[in-house]
Structure 1
């Protein structure tokens, strides 16, 4: 629901504030045409100032009211939906004797109530109002920072095109980017390349390269708290259910045993998705919402990609050599990203063309939900260009896994995308870019920031760093420069 409130705010700026601001600019130009002693000019300037003041007051107050009402409604709706969803899991777990689902339901109920209570308290003690005011100053500062970056790199019509595209002066500020979130999946019918006639999943399971029972959600070798919400789905007729309107037709453990013991000759045909539909949607919503704090208006579409190689099913973590190189290979071979060093992939073969294609893909961010890593990693990113903490890679993109509860782990995709824009790890559980592997979770400002923000956040400095990376590395077309038409 937080994303809905953000979208409402953007709509107000785009559909209400921007047209009035455009009229103000036109009126200002007319007023300048009058000599200073002309009474018509005095009236013109009076009307211009009056409209500007009224517009600023009404739009600002209107946005605050809309935001406050929306957040109250969102908090209540989230509590109701979360509690009902948790109760569904508890009841279903009792009837199916699934204690893990019972515990998940109880955790979901507790986490939903706590987060909802925090959100409501923040609103009623005016912490959210203070956050709104802070956000207005931060946005103004970020606009000024970007304006300076553009002035040093672009001029003339190119600069005007970019300023208009990102709403630098009028409307909802931000770089509009179409992004893609993939989910990896396994197919029980895909044939093994090493054992003709045998399903690939059976061959990999028997060789020990993967544990299919784990990937189907029946075993938890990494521990209960590191289990994932994988989704099995029988091919053919699909029925509704799942406690959230999600389509379900899962296999059970006996059916999986039959599939494995018969080496694929018996049992249902099925696929396994790296996470449930609702899980991916939750992570995407968090990414779109928090991306606004960086001046990014992300619009995600979703897709799936089959993975059949063991190295793509269980991806390298930092306990293995070359995790970043392995990630780039996955991005290129399975998700279609361009390898900047592969001239042969271009027509005609050209290294500059490969470099240009890889750079152009920066304006189409990509994340992929995968099954697991070899260690306890939650996500991994490849930044095309170097920053103070990121190495230069041959392709851009990120992968992530699912973890429960969502209130903690839904920010992993936007965290990894932050790395794709050159951002670094920081201290503090209240920060999106925190890393429990490299940084401390506690900071003295944590409690105040949690009251002020309510959720993990990006800072103004991180937003500025993001735009430093964007202006330095994105091509003009990505930023909004219109192609020159030669007649």
Structure 2
């Protein structure tokens, strides 16, 4: 019996976990590529264009050539904005999407093959010494297949998220083009702000529709995989796909977004910029260099508007240990429910449960039911190290999008 458990633990610690950690690091590298481009390329270009537009707006008009100096300045900023947007945005998303798809697909295939081999080896080793353990290995194999399907559907959900972000990137370009006309004064700023605000509202609505499709796919994913894994918590979450109210409200508010919300957003933004710029000018009028630095820092004329803040978010986590065992045995949390394994959700609605995850430390791989069983029965030393996170990685990243560089 001891040999049976040792084989399973050895394979997980020395074969599966190292591979899973490598795949996890590769997937995180794909995310870092996009972040690096936004911070090191897109942001400096946007700042330069914003500063140039502000200087164009402030310079005197040469009436002898019908303000040709402002025309040229405006043309330069528009060309730079459009060309860099096309190059940077296309390059960013192509690199990000190709990297994500290739790494995720390869990771799913490699992990599934290794898990199948691991479960079969464990089954045959345990068949005569610990039949219950052997049957548990077969159930783990079923969960492994479900997890692979979960990863495939998860990739679809993430790609829909990316489609929504691409549409929002188009909206930000339109917003920037609308701001560029502020060079010609408040009247032109309001007029073209309303025009481009209309088209930006179209992109916002399209992105909202994509988000609805994404949520629907995610709901189908939860419902189907909840049924396959006999997880009542996840089945409950999947029932949200029957909520059509969001789509109805999205359609009904389209006209308001097109003719009011979108245009007003750009017009109000211009007024807010003027208020901020006036306050900075009054406070730093005697120090032009400092005033210029303050304007740049506050994003006057650019995006995002306001002084940026850097956050260092962390997810609350508990490592596998005696404290975690006590949390489970005392009923504070249900490891099976959080891990998405066979669970009745403690007889509660899913909204009363953590929307977290139970993964092997350093990976995105959900802990097997057998390892959770052994952990609760024998203690932390009997299983590979794993970590319980209070919030799922996908949900966590989605919440962080509200603090993205370009809101």
Return the TM-score normalized by structure 1.
0.42
Higher helix share: 2
Greater CA radius of gyration, 1 or 2? 2
Higher strand share: 1
Compare relative contact order (CA 8 Å, sep 6+) and give the higher one, 1 or 2. Answer: 2
